[in-house]
């Protein structure tokens, strides 16, 4: 019996040590610069306010001038905003030069790649190449280019890169570029983490579940879905049936109701990845991420397909 007690005691000590190390924060927060993309709303806007309140030097990249103005109105003078379109190489180059001027020889402590979109979302057959490219350019290609442009500054500070993926990067539940892009973010982050570890740079992945950020707002999602339906050939419409659209709209509304409004679950994970002495490689955020999608990602394909398929509409010519 005593060997089991020894093993349990050692395991308890290891968990206690990990808990203690993760609670320790890096020093001199007031000297550290953090660039966050996608600060107009949602996770990015809240994280910018929270880090500013903790005394960090926040560089908030917004897509629109109105979003930047609203953020400056509720934060301190330390926070600075800049306009950034992550799909535009010229815009990324401009922001990189802007950041370099502000951080100087100290380097950039944190880069949070948060900017992202989800629409258009629909069955893959309904979409065109351009529909996929629109999402991939923001969520994946833009993230990669921003990261590569700023890596020398992050490496100089021996800082942190925090990439926002999704549980949909583990379990692809719907068609379109969103899930594909998040799979790509996972792969890019994994390789980047191993490459930068010798330089003292930490790379973390945030995997949120469903949150009410506006990205899954049912109104624009369903409107976009209907526009895609209307442009389909008559043969494809007949194969799916009009009821497919109605059931999709109901599923989207249900998903929105089940999503959490507590965005702090995600920004808390981001903050830990930026400020903890011992950040984690991955952070799952949200009850659905931890209790449903992560376990589902480890299930055999036949089981995950059965579970996810239970919630999907059945096409008119599909097998019931």
Active site amino acids: 178
Token representation of residue 40: 């107009």
d(CA 304, CA 286): 20
Q: Is the torsion defined by CA of 18, 205, 197, 35 positive or negative? A: negative
Cα–Cα distances in angstroms (integers) from residue 295 to residues 55, 158, 163, 299, in the given order: 37, 34, 22, 7
Token representation of residue 315: 């096409």
Token representation of residue 35: 């660039």
d(CA 183, CA 232): 27
d(CA 262, CA 255): 15
DSSP 29: G
Closest CA to 255 of 214, 308, 217: 217
Contact 155, 196 (CB under 8 A): yes
**Residue 85: half-sphere exposure toward Cβ, Cα within 13 Å:** 8
Closest CA to 202 of 210, 212, 192, 211: 192
Token representation of residue 171: 């379990």
> Helices then strands (H, E): number in the chain?
14, 7
Residue in the block written with tokens 């036949």 = 302
């Amino acid at each position: 019996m005593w060997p089991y007690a020894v093993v349990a005691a050692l395991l308890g000590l290891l968990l206690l040590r990990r808990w203690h190390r993760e609670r320790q924060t890096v020093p001199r927060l007031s000297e550290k610069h953090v660039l966050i993309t996608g600060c107009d709303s949602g996770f990015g806007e809240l994280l910018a306010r929270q880090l500013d309140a903790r005394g960090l030097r926040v560089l908030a990249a917004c897509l629109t001038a109105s979003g930047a103005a609203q953020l400056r109105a509720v934060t301190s003078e330390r926070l600075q905003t800049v306009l950034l379109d992550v799909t535009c190489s010229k815009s990324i180059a401009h922001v990189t030069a802007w950041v370099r001027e502000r951080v100087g020889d100290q380097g950039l402590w944190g880069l949070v790649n948060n900017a992202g979109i989800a629409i258009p979302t629909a069955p893959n057959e309904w979409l065109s190449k351009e529909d996929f490219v629109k999402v991939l350019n923001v969520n994946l290609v833009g993230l990669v280019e921003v990261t590569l442009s700023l890596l020398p500054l992050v490496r100089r500070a021996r800082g942190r890169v925090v990439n926002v993926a999704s549980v949909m990067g583990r379990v692809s539940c719907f068609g379109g570029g969103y899930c594909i892009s998040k799979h790509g973010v996972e792969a890019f982050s994994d390789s980047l983490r191993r490459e930068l570890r010798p330089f003292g740079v930490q790379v973390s992945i945030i995997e949120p579940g469903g949150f009410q950020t506006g990205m899954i707002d049912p109104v624009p999602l369903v409107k976009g879905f209907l526009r895609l339906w209307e442009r389909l050939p008559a043969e494809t419409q007949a194969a799916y049936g009009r009821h497919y659209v109605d059931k999709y709209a109901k599923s989207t509304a249900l998903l929105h109701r089940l999503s959490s409004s507590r965005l702090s679950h995600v920004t808390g994970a981001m903050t830990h990845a930026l400020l903890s002495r011992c950040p984690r490689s991955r952070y799952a955020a949200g009850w659905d991420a931890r209790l449903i999608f992560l376990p589902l990602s480890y299930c055999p394909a036949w089981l995950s397909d059965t579970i996810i398929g239970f919630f999907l509409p059945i096409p008119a010519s599909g097998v019931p």
